[in-house]
């Protein structure tokens, strides 16, 4: 468990370092926010495309084989990113990293559900959360320091020795918790899921560049939706589905998965919007941006074990309700940002937001998975993590699109009225950017309210029993 948690820590840490680095990379590579966000969106998208396959991989290979392979792939992507000299190579390295990291987290959660009974999984997931949530605490801050002192490539060079150490420890200490089963992969399902998620994400991302009415965007979204519909149909009719969608027959798993979509969109989008506001519009350094996010993310990690124990005792309902209410209240504080909003105020609001997140991130996922029978644990974990990654990717792309389009509209209005009043073009661009970010936070607020309403329907349910085959037994003859 310890070796796997460290590996998952590295994967999560790697995912969060881009939030602070993106503004500087936009300047270095001379790219727009809608292009740069692919360093985060593309990472999550590959995770989302790959995770459906993890249910098959966890049945086909041993824990040791799968974990070590994923860490080696992650190390390869880290090396490619470190030596990148342009944006396409850096993005390629990030996507390779994601291919390795996408396997680690579902594998770790499946191990937890294999080793611990349902009444102790909250505490176990809380300890996992301590490591996994602590990564975002030091990620942005450490990245800010590195960017202040060294070239951005140092972020990746610094991870290489740690990845090597985890691989060595895995060979020495890691043990298997299940026996592999010989099975064949459904290639058509892999193709359909890749096309579906990829086209959908491309459509959302390019809407910021070309607009929602662009033929390229419309075709991408239509192709993505059709491919996902076909993927879903194939899983339902297949005897050996790549992703067993029977998990959705369990009401609490379905409900918590839907809520997870909303809260994940809120979490990942905020990690993109806040650094853009701080660095691009207010002129704060990458280090100052990272320090601002540090207290809240640190509290998230420290609260995680306590929240896990509360979940074991009281369930997920009120933890989720309280957490979402806290996020809604703190989000209200972000929809009226100005060019003079104080740094202290931003630290306070950011910290409050992450306290709210700590209340439900692990409980909401554990509550849904707890209802599933053990035979669906691997598939339920894969489904939950797939939807979480895709929701984060879509949420980031959608809100960056909202910010970009809203900024253009505000700039047109300001140019029409401000030019006559002698306002400089630079000041109008800054004001338009801030208003665009405010509008994106307003969308987050709406998503939060919907998530809150759904949270009132959460119930504490028992672990479902295994489905038994329908066999008719003949009565024994009388003697």
Q: How many CA atoms lie within 13 A of 475 on its CB side?
A: 3
In 3D space, the residue among 444, 290, 273, 448 whose CA is nearest the CA of residue 360 turns out to be 448
- Taking 3-state DSSP, the helix, strand and coil percentages for the chain, each rounded to the nearest 5, stand at 80, 0, 20
How confident is the model at residue 420, as a pLDDT? Answer: 53
First to last CA, the chain: 57
How confident is the model at residue 26, as a pLDDT? Answer: 84
Does 450 score more than 90 pLDDT? yes
Give me the chain's average pLDDT, please: 82
pLDDT digits 0-9 by tens, 76-129: 999 999 998 888 999 999 999 988 888 887 888 878 877 777 777 777 777 777
The angle at the Cα of 49, spanning 46 to 54, to the nearest 5 degrees, equals: 110
Size of the chain in residues:
479
pLDDT digits 0-9 by tens, 25-49: 888 888 877 678 778 777 777 876 7
Does 463 score more than 50 pLDDT? yes
Alpha carbon 23 to chain centroid, angstroms? 20
3-state SS, residue 194: helix
- Confidence label for 473 from pLDDT (cuts 50, 70 and 90): very low
How confident is the model at residue 284, as a pLDDT? Answer: 84
Percent of the chain with pLDDT over 70: 89
How confident is the model at residue 5, as a pLDDT? Answer: 87
pLDDT digits 0-9 by tens, 173-208: 888 776 767 767 778 888 888 888 778 777 776 765
* C-alpha to C-alpha distance for 65 and 67, rounded to whole angstroms: 6
Q: Are 430 and 397 in contact (CB under 8 A)?
A: no
- Confidence label for 464 from pLDDT (cuts 50, 70 and 90): low
- Confidence label for 423 from pLDDT (cuts 50, 70 and 90): low
- Confidence label for 71 from pLDDT (cuts 50, 70 and 90): very high
- Confidence label for 316 from pLDDT (cuts 50, 70 and 90): confident
The angle at the Cα of 421, spanning 418 to 425, to the nearest 5 degrees, equals: 45
Does 161 score more than 90 pLDDT? yes
How confident is the model at residue 204, as a pLDDT? Answer: 72
pLDDT digits 0-9 by tens, 243-302: 788 888 888 999 999 998 888 888 776 777 888 888 888 888 777 877 887 888 788 878
pTM, two decimals, is 0.74
Is pLDDT larger for residue 49 or for residue 450? 450
């Amino acid at each position: 468990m310890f070796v796997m948690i460290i590996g998952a820590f590295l994967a999560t840490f790697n995912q969060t370092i881009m939030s602070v680095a993106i503004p500087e990379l936009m300047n270095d590579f001379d790219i727009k926010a809608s292009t740069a966000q692919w360093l985060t969106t593309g990472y999550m998208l590959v995770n989302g495309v790959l995770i459906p396959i993890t249910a098959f991989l966890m049945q086909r290979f041993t824990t040791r084989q799968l974990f070590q392979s994923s860490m080696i792939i992650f190390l390869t992507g880290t090396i490619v990113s470190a030596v990148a000299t342009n944006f396409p190579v850096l993005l390629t390295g990030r996507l390779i990293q994601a291919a390795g990291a996408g396997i680690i987290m579902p594998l770790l959660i499946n191990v937890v559900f294999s080793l611990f009974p349902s009444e102790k999984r909250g505490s176990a997931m809380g300890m996992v959360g301590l490591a996994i949530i602590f990564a975002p605490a030091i990620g942005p801050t450490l990245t800010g320091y590195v960017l202040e002192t060294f070239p951005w490539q140092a972020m990746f060079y610094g991870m290489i020795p740690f990845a090597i150490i985890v691989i060595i420890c895995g060979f020495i200490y890691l043990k298997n918790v299940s026996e592999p089963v010989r099975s064949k992969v459904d290639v058509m399902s892999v193709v359909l899921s890749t096309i579906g998620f990829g086209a959908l994400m491309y459509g959302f991302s390019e809407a910021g560049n070309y607009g929602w009415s662009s033929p390229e965007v419309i075709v991408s979204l239509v192709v993505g939706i059709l491919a996902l519909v076909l993927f879903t149909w194939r899983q339902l009719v297949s005897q050996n589905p790549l992703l067993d969608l029977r998990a959705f027959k369990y009401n609490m798993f379905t409900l918590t998965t839907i809520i997870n979509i909303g809260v994940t969109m809120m979490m990942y989008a905020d990690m993109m919007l806040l650094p853009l506001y701080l660095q691009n519009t207010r002129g704060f350094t990458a280090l100052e941006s990272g320090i601002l996010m540090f207290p809240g993310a640190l509290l998230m990690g420290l609260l995680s074990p306590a929240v896990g124990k509360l979940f074991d005792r009281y369930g997920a309902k009120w933890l989720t309700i309280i957490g979402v209410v806290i996020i809604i209240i703190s989000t209200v504080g972000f929809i009226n940002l100005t060019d003079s909003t104080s740094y202290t105020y931003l630290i306070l609001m950011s910290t409050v937001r992450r306290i709210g997140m700590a209340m439900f991130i692990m409980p909401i996922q554990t509550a849904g998975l707890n209802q599933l029978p053990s035979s669906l644990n691997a598939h339920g974990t894969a489904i939950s993590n797939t939807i979480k990654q895709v929701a984060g990717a879509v949420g980031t792309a959608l809100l960056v699109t909202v910010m970009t389009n809203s900024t253009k509209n505000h700039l047109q209005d300001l140019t029409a009225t401000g030019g006559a009043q002698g306002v400089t073009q630079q000041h109008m661009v800054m004001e338009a950017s801030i208003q665009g970010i405010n509008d994106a936070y307003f969308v987050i607020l709406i998503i939060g309210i919907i998530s809150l309403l759904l949270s009132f329907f959460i119930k504490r349910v028992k672990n479902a029993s295994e489905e038994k085959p329908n066999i008719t037994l003949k009565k024994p003859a009388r003697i």
